[in-house]
Each structure stands twice: as structure tokens, then as C-alpha cells.
Amino acid sequence: MEKEGYGYVVLSVGEVAGVVPYTSFSARSHLFEENPQLLRNFQKAIQKGLDYVHNHSNSEIAEIIKDQFPDTSFELLEDSIKRYRENDTWPKSTTFTEESFNHLQDIMIDYGELTEKVDFNQLIVQFS
């Protein structure tokens, strides 16, 4: 819309919302006990993707993802990636902080998707 002159970006949601942890996976507790390496490998794969976007150019990232966006020009992909980078959208680590988890829950409560907060330590498992 912006490229075609129909609108413009006033603010990025990322700039306004702050740090919101949104990449996650869930598993039943028995999986943590029976196959913790599978979960660690999944976490490592997500971290590898984060490391990639932090260590490669907008053009290199656009080249990797272009097939996922067949109706989007390469230039627009690069511009979008640039905007994500400028807004510090991609976290450096897969670690959820308790503060960011509570912020996410506040958003969910505000929009009626959650009725009460869940204790961080009951729900979040961190890998070292």
C-alpha cells in the first residue's frame, strides 16, 4: 500500500508494543522427560534462524525467503526486512524473560484472550 501511494506507516507495532515473545512451542511434560534432546534441537534451530538474520544482509535474507512470498517483489521483501531490522524486531536469543512473558499476558488479558496470568515458572521451561 505504501509503495502504491495508498498509505504510509505511522508506527510499527513492534515499536509501540515493546518486547513481546511470540515464537514458542508447547509440549506435554512427558516429552521433556522422555525426549529432552528433541526439544533442545528445536530450540537450537530457532536460535540458528535468529543468528542468521542478525548476521546476514537484507538481500541475503530476502533471497532465502522469496519463494515463500511469490506475489511480493524482491525490493519490497528487502524493504520489509530492513524495517524489521531497524525496529529490532528479531530477538537475539530464544530466552523468554519473565518480564516479556508477563507483558504478553497483559496484552492477551487486555484483548480478552486470557482471563488471568499464569505463573512464569509453571509454564516456561528454559534450555541452557
**127 pLDDT more than 70:** no
Same domain, 74 and 50: yes
Determine the structural domain holding residue 110 and report its residue range: 95-128
Structural domain count, the chain: 2
Q: Give the DSSP letter string of 70-106.
A: TTS-HHHHHHHHHHHHHTT-S-SSSPPPHHHHHHHHH
Same domain for 68 and 124: no
Give yes or no: residues 87 and 104 share one domain: no
- 74 near 62, Cβ under 8 Å? yes
Are 42 and 67 within one domain?
Answer: yes
Q: Are residues 37 and 73 in the same domain?
A: yes
Residue 46 lies inside a defined structural domain of this protein: yes
Model confidence at 39: pLDDT above 90 = no
39 shares a domain with 71: yes
Residues 103, 85, single domain; the answer is: no
Longest CA span, the chain: 55
The arithmetic mean of pLDDT across residues 72-101, rounded, is 89
| pLDDT of the residue at 128 | 60
Whether residue 17 lies inside any domain: the answer is no
The sign of the torsion formed by the CA atoms of 32, 33, 34, 37 equals positive
The pTM for the full model equals: 0.76
Question: Is residue 107 located within the same domain as residue 49?
Answer: no
Asked if 104 contacts 21 with a C-beta cutoff of 8 angstroms, the reply is yes
53 and 90 housed in the same domain? yes
Q: Residues 64, 118: one domain? A: no
The per-residue pLDDT for 116 is 95
Do 56 and 102 belong together in one domain? no
Instruction: Choose the weakest-confidence range: 54-58, 63-67, 88-92, 99-103.
Output: 88-92
Tell me: do 80 and 107 sit in the same domain. no
The pLDDT value given to residue 95: 84
